[in-house]
Structure 1
Amino acid sequence: MKAPLLVAGLGAAGSVCRYGVSVAIQRMFNTKMPIGTFVVNVVGSLLIGAAMSYFAQRGALDSRARIAVTVGFLGGFTTYSSFSFETWVLFEEKLYARAAVNVLATVVSCFAACALGVLAVRKLG
């Protein structure tokens, strides 16, 4: 099967899992805090770390398997997992300042972009 089809199929599965896990966690804790999303992001980050480590140590069955799991399933489950792994690579390469800048810049910029999007839509009515 072609890599784009694997990514699409597993991306859909990851998205469905994200929805299910997030809703279940949110119901379990019954809070206004987005704990479901928080849990999904933490679990996705754990899974991409484990997957990439596994593939690095043992080798993926082929590059399509690695791409299908990481870009497909985990990309659908949470894009935060990619951000986490890329930051880990910077940290592992002892590029601590770059890792810190990546974390700070990503969190602040994404929050600001979200706020800008909300405010723009409200302004445009």
Structure 2
Amino acid sequence: MPNLFLVMLGGAIGSAARYGVGRLGLALLGPAFPWGTLAVNILGGFLMGLLGASLLRFGPNAEQARLLLGVGVLGGFTTFSSFSLETFAMIERGDLVMAIGYVLASVIGAIGALALGMTLARAVTA
């Protein structure tokens, strides 16, 4: 099966699951806090940990499973799981300063980019 198709299939499944968790969080706990997003990020990190450790046992034979489940399903479910895995890998390698820099750059950069995009969109549509 072509690699791109595996990623696309997994992404559709992950995105649908993310939508379902978000709807469930909203229905159960209301709109005051983004419980669904928080649940997706934490669950996604946990699942990426399980997947990453499991795939290591299979070596290069696990590439299609990694593409379908890691890049596709978990990528569609939450990119936070990939971010968590990459940060943890830096910490395990002893690159604590790099890990902290990555966390700060990712969070502050993403929020800053969102603010810039919203400001630009509002200026164009005003």
Name structure 1 gaps, 5 residues minimum.
none
Aligned length: 124
Separation in 2, partners of 1:98, 1:118 = 29
Q: Give the structure 2 partner of residue 32 of structure 1.
A: 32
Q: What is the TM-score with the length of structure 1 in the denominator?
A: 0.94
Per-residue CA distance 1:3-48 (angstroms, 9 max, x = gap): 1111111110000000001110122111322121111011111111
Q: How does 1:12-91 map to 2 (within 5 A)?
A: 12-56=12-56, 58-59=57-58, 62-91=62-91
The offset of 1:67, in angstroms, is 1.5
Aligned to 2:114: 114
TM-score calculated relative to the size of structure 2: 0.93
Unaligned runs of 5+ in 2: none
Distance 2:19 2:31 in 1: 17
CA distance in 1, matches of 2:38, 2:113: 19
Where does residue 95 of structure 2 map in the other structure?
A: 95
Find runs of 4+ consecutive structure 1 residues off by over 4 angstroms: none
Distance 2:67 2:91 in 1: 22
In 2, the alpha carbon distance for the partners of 1:72 and 1:104 equals: 25
Identity of aligned residues (%): 38
Q: Counterparts of 1:34 and 1:50 in 2: how far apart (Å)?
A: 25
Instruction: Name the CA distance, whole Å, in 2 between partners of 1:89 and 1:114.
Output: 27
Quote the residue 2:5 is aligned against.
Answer: 5
3-state secondary structure, aligned to 1:89: helix
